[in-house]
């Protein structure tokens, strides 16, 4: 409690005035998703250091372990198995995509439950002129910024390791971001449908994220796997993203039709996921 009246911040002559409700509503209708994205980014800024350390630390650790440590054994045996590139070059685009997908599995699961159930943060903006679809889109947009930043940092580390020989390698950062959305948005739609936490996200991590990470042509070409598990790669955003990343990073030889398939798969799943997310948010929060 203050002891003195203090200096008024405004005076009757120059009152601090909010714009009219009509202007608020018009701005919210137009820019609402961005307004909510701003909130999410402000929250992320609070743990910015851990985002940066994760973005840098993870590629350094993985590239050393897989690309340098494991590669010394693999390359000594056969370079031809990896399309004539070193194991480090082969594995780097896959690690980049996997890292983005893993971040998405975090960003689109627990925070959604938090928004609807634990701390109910989605209901605050819903009492403002924002609509549920904008809250969903704002969360997605802010997360996309995070995936992109992380992927750019990851790519820079890959480049510093000398694992991005081609001029188009940077596109793999975009591919990783789209892959994250391709995997993450359907997950977000599922997360938005959960009303009781019964450990579903831990199951998603163990039985979906991990198999996708291991069986998506990440550490070895997909066609070396038996057909019985190869399908995991075909439906995996990690595989589609990784294959595209390899094309851009070191010019992996690929049928153009297959390249287009990868692009279409990633975009289609992301768009369908986005539609489902918006629908689920409306269902959960009303109009």
Please tell me the distance from the alpha carbon of residue 263 to that of residue 27, in angstroms, as a whole number: 34
- Least gap, CB of 135 to other proteins (angstroms): 10
Q: Which stretch binds other proteins (CB under 8 A): 31-39, 81-89, 169-177, 203-211?
A: 31-39
Rounded to whole angstroms, the Cα distance separating 218 from 129 reads 44
Cα 58 from Cα 145, distance rounded (Å): 18
- What is the Cβ-side half-sphere exposure of residue 110, based on CA atoms within 13 angstroms? 7
- CA geometry: angle 167, 172, 176, nearest 5 deg: 170
Note whether 112 and 155 are within 8 A (CB): no
Q: How many Å apart are CA 200 and CA 212, to the nearest integer? A: 17
- Give residues 42-71 in contact with other proteins (rule: CB under 8 A): 42-43, 46
Judged by beta carbon, residue 6 or residue 226, the one nearer other proteins is: 6
Among the candidate windows 96-104, 113-121, 184-192, 225-233, which touches other proteins by CB under 8 A?
113-121
Q: Tell which one of 51, 81, 121, 149 touches other proteins (CB under 8 A).
A: 121
Opening angle at CA 236, ends 234 and 241, nearest 5: 100
**For the chain, what is the total number of helices (H) and then of strands (E)?**
13, 0
Region from 55-63, 120-128, 182-190, 265-273 binding other proteins, contact rule CB under 8 A? 120-128
CB atoms within 10 A of CB 93: 29
Residue with smaller CB distance to other proteins, 7 or 228? 7
In angstroms, give the least distance from the CB of 118 to other proteins.
10
Q: How far is the CB of 20 from other proteins (least distance, A)?
A: 7
Q: Supply φ then ψ for residue 78, to 5 degrees.
A: -160, 115
Q: Which residue in the set 95, 97, 212, 285 belongs to the binding site for other proteins (CB under 8 A)?
A: 285
**Which parts of 123-162 interact with other proteins (CB under 8 A)?**
123-131
Among 48, 52, 53, 120, binds other proteins (CB under 8 A): 120
Alpha helices of 63-170 — where are they, by DSSP H?
71-77, 87-107, 110-113, 123-126, 132-160
Residue 168 interacts with other proteins (CB under 8 A): yes or no: no
218 is written with which tokens? Answer: 């990440």
Residues binding other proteins: number (CB under 8 A)? 49
- At residue 261, the 3 state secondary structure works out as helix
To other proteins, the closest distance from the beta carbon of 6 in angstroms equals 6
Does 286 contact other proteins by CB under 8 A?
A: yes
Choose, by CB under 8 A, the member of 21, 199, 226, 256 that binds other proteins.
Answer: 21
Q: Tell whether residue 195 is a contact of other proteins (CB under 8 A).
A: no
Summarize as ranges the residues that interact with other proteins (CB under 8 A): 1-2, 4-6, 8-12, 15-29, 31-32, 35-36, 38-39, 42-43, 46, 119-121, 123-131, 285-287
């Amino acid at each position: 409690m203050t002891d003195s009246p203090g200096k008024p911040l405004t005076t009757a002559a120059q009152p601090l005035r909010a714009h009219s409700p009509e202007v608020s509503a018009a701005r919210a209708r137009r820019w609402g998703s961005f307004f909510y994205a701003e909130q999410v980014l402000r929250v992320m800024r609070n743990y910015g250091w851990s985002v940066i350390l994760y973005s840098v630390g993870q590629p350094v650790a993985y590239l050393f372990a897989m690309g340098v440590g494991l590669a010394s054994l693999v390359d000594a045996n056969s370079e031809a198995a990896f399309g004539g590139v070193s194991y480090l070059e082969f594995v780097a685009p896959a690690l980049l995509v996997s890292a983005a997908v893993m971040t998405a599995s975090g960003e689109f699961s627990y925070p959604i439950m938090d928004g609807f159930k634990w701390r109910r943060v989605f209901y605050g903006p819903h009492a403002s002129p924002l609509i549920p679809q904008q809250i969903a889109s704002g969360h997605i947009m802010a997360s996309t910024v995070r995936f992109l930043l992380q992927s750019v940092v990851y790519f820079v580390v890959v480049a510093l390791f000398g694992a991005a020989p081609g001029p188009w390698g940077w596109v793999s950062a975009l591919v990783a971001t789209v892959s994250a959305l391709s995997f993450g948005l359907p997950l977000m739609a599922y997360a938005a449908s959960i009303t009781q936490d019964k450990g579903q996200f831990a199951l998603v991590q163990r039985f979906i994220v991990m198999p996708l990470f291991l069986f998506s042509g990440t550490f070895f070409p997909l066609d070396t796997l038996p057909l019985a598990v190869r399908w995991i790669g075909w439906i995996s955003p990690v595989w589609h993203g990784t294959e595209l990343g390899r094309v851009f990073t070191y010019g992996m030889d690929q049928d153009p039709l297959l390249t287009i398939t990868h692009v279409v798969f990633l975009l289609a799943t992301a768009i369908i996921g986005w539609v489902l997310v918006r629908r689920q948010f409306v269902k959960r929060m009303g109009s």
